[in-house]
A and B are shown apart, each in its own frame.
Chain A
Amino acid sequence: MPGPFRRRGQGPDRGEGESDSPSEDGADGDATDPGSARTDGGTVQRKRESSGGRLSGALDDRFGDDFVESLPFWLPAFLLMGLFVYGAIIWNFVISLTDYEGFRDVSYSSLDFEMYTRAFNDSGFLDAAQNTVVLLLAFTVLTLGVGLGLAILVDRNIRFENTFRTIYLLPMSLSFVVTAQFWLWLFNFEDGLLNQAVVLVGLDRVNWIGDPQVVLWAVILALMWQFSGYAMVVYLAGLRAIPQEHYEAAKVDGASTLKMYWRVIIPQLKGATISAAVVLMVFALKAFDFLFSLVSGYRPPNGADILATKMVREVYSGTPRWAYGSAIAMILFAMALSIIGPYLIYQYRRGNL
């Protein structure tokens, strides 16, 4: 099967980079395509007129030849997704403007931004927001670094490449709930492996989970273990898309290995870095499952509360504070949007949408 890992030009499958060719970009409205003109005159056109009538003809004129005929394929799924994703987000925003709380029914009579001002006066919220940003940035940068290092090591024509790659990626196939169990045991104060190693080198035991100064970094370490294999896979596909000649040209110029990677190779991995970074940040925003499992409850260890956990706790533990939870969720959503928005624009400009 044509995996993303074959070096460019090694086989009939020309790898990932090629797919970005601008063949589709300019073809706005397929009328420029010689194929479509012929399609129009044929049987298809006649059949459409008999079944669709004037409205579908008008829609096709507006959106393109196959628009009406293609509707049954994508519209149901689009509506379901649209309802659950965009409909829910809009509804969530409206709820965040109410003061919906407890077990009575929601009332939409007075809408204001009170919940947002409450959030910015809540020190618990501010701590969680700060932790979220630290987690997001530190986790993403460190994981990308480790992933790039792994990819460069694996890309050196090694034997058993598949085995190494499979094992580096293995943690990603596990649930956060499962990896939280493993790491809880590694972090154990008395008998855990990490503290055994710490004692071995002559240092004091670290209270990985109990110390508010440490716990966020402990979580970042565990998440890095789980996702650096992912960053490696993305970078590996990126490295394989770089033509062999670029390596050779750098060598002919007498550049050292380090210089070659820094000056020639890494700049070409911009696309891989951007897509991996976006996905990793989103994983970090979703670290809820890990933190919940770590303590088997809604209250993460002191110093590791993030917006994702705080939002769920406000709504689903104790008296439900629906409106306040929704407001926190909207702020979290805004953070995600500030990452995804530019990413979508970047992809659109490169012709990938």
Chain B
Amino acid sequence: MSDATASEPSAESEQESADPASRSRWWSVSASRVVLYGALLAIMGVFLVPIETGLVTSVKTNPTGVSETLPYLPPPPEYFTLEKWEQAFDRLARGMVNSALYSIPATVLSAFAGSLTAYGITQARWKERYKALLLALFVAGIFIPYQAVLVPLSRFWSTYAPLEDWLAVLWVIGIDNDYAGLVELSVTHIAYGIPICTVLFRSYYKNMSIEMVESARLDGASLRRVYRRIILPLSTPMFAVVLIYQFTQIWNDLLFALILVSSESSEAAPVTLILAGLGQSLEGADFPLRMAGAFIAALPTLAVYVMFGEEFAEGVAS
């Protein structure tokens, strides 16, 4: 295999093909390219198949349509139905609203807190030794398994911060008191989101040119003024990355929802909690309903991913 040419821009190898002397070389190059693209496409198939079988299954009738057709083929007209999508939507609509109610504020607030924190421990001048210690605590905070904090978390919210009592006025005006769980979820997600947001912003601020900040500081600008006038406007690209990453993480979470809201039948159940119990019955699993539900629950994160794939990749890569 002639890799020397393979890694050069393909435009160049096409030019070479005009020269008859190098034609045989061009053939071997394009053969290896064909193999390469074939492999890439095959892998792409592997990545898409689970999603594709889910999609075609979601519009099949249950149980005949599911058992009579191949799992990866769309159903023939007699087995086609959108009923499962309607059912799934009816079941999940409440959860979608609930998830949005805590995901969006928690995303915005944790991103903003991360930006402020990263600024305070990056651009402000104090000793690197202490900054490193602080940063180590933040980095370790990203990686702790949440099981290690679950028991204190449930104790804390039930005994020491009983939001259900504190917010009693809301329940009087007719809001279901399970919604206290969503406030708990927001605060919890902000607290556990701060480490990753801080570390993402910190790597961005560290690589930023500091000349402007230094001259502003020399002119006597306070840290707060430098943040508002210089750092915040320059942070927009990183805010996109962090907001997308955080939104995906918070929307997708099940564990905290399960612990803090606990029941899928609750008025305030987030979408992941409802989806986890969808399509289970004594007669067996209703796969079309489950698949339709999975797509509906994934819709917001999929939309964000399709629109901001590049930012998402940057968020996970750093």
Size of the A side of the interface (Cβ < 8 Å), in residues, is 129
What's the A-B contact tally at a CB cutoff of 8 Å? 361
> B285 and A229: CB pair below 8 A?
no
> A156 and B191: CB pair below 8 A?
no
- Give residues 322-342 of A contacting B (CB, 8 Å): 322, 325-326, 328-330, 332-333, 336, 339-340
Contacts A175-B297, A185-B287; A170 near B125 (Cβ below 8 A): no
CA distance A292 to B138 in the complex (A): 29
Contacts A30-B125, A173-B301, A182-B50; A3 near B150 (Cβ below 8 A): no
Q: Give the residue of A184, A247, A329 whose beta carbon is less than 8 angstroms from that of B290.
A: A184
> B120 and A70: CB pair below 8 A?
yes
Query: Of all chain B residues, which has the CB nearest A190?
Result: B67
> A177 and B316: CB pair below 8 A?
no
A-side binding surface: helix, strand, loop or mixed? helix
Size of the B side of the interface (Cβ < 8 Å), in residues, is 123
Interface residue B282 (Cβ < 8 Å from any Cβ of A): no
Query: Of all chain A residues, which has the CB nearest B191?
Result: A84
Interface residue A167 (Cβ < 8 Å from any Cβ of B): yes
**Nearest Cβ in chain B — how far from A87, in angstroms?**
8
Which one of A41-49, A119-127, A137-145, A211-219 contacts B?
A41-49
- Give residues 150-177 of A contacting B (CB, 8 Å): 150, 153-154, 156-159, 162, 164-177
> B217 and A44: CB pair below 8 A?
yes
Query: Of all chain B residues, which has the CB nearest A63?
Result: B126
CA distance A16 to B318 in the complex (A): 9
Q: Give the residue of A167, A174, A344 whose beta carbon is less than 8 angstroms from that of B44.
A: A167
Q: Give the residue of B119, B222, B275 whose beta carbon is less than 8 angstroms from that of A293.
A: B275
Query: Of all chain A residues, which has the CB nearest B198?
Result: A77
Query: Of all chain B residues, which has the CB nearest A192?
Result: B71
Interface residue B200 (Cβ < 8 Å from any Cβ of A): no
Mask, A211-252, CB within 8 Å of B = 1, is 000000000000001000110011011000000000100010
CA distance A281 to B134 in the complex (A): 23
**In the assembled complex, which residues on chain A have CB atoms less than 8 Å from the CB atom of B49?**
193
Query: Of all chain B residues, which has the CB nearest A326?
Result: B151
> A185 and B291: CB pair below 8 A?
yes
**In the assembled complex, which residues on chain B have CB atoms less than 8 Å from the CB atom of A111?**
none
Interface residues of A (CB under 8 A from B): 1-5, 16, 19, 24-25, 27-30, 33, 35-36, 38-39, 42-44, 47, 60, 63-67, 69-78, 80-89, 91-92, 95, 106, 150, 153-154, 156-159, 162, 164-186, 188, 190-193, 196, 225, 229-230, 233-234, 236-237, 247, 251, 257, 278, 282, 285-286, 288-289, 292-293, 296, 307-308, 311-312, 315-316, 322, 325-326, 328-330, 332-333, 336, 339-340, 344, 347-348, 353
What are the 4 tightest A-B residue pairs by CB atom distance, in nearest-first order? A64-B126, A73-B120, A43-B220, A175-B252
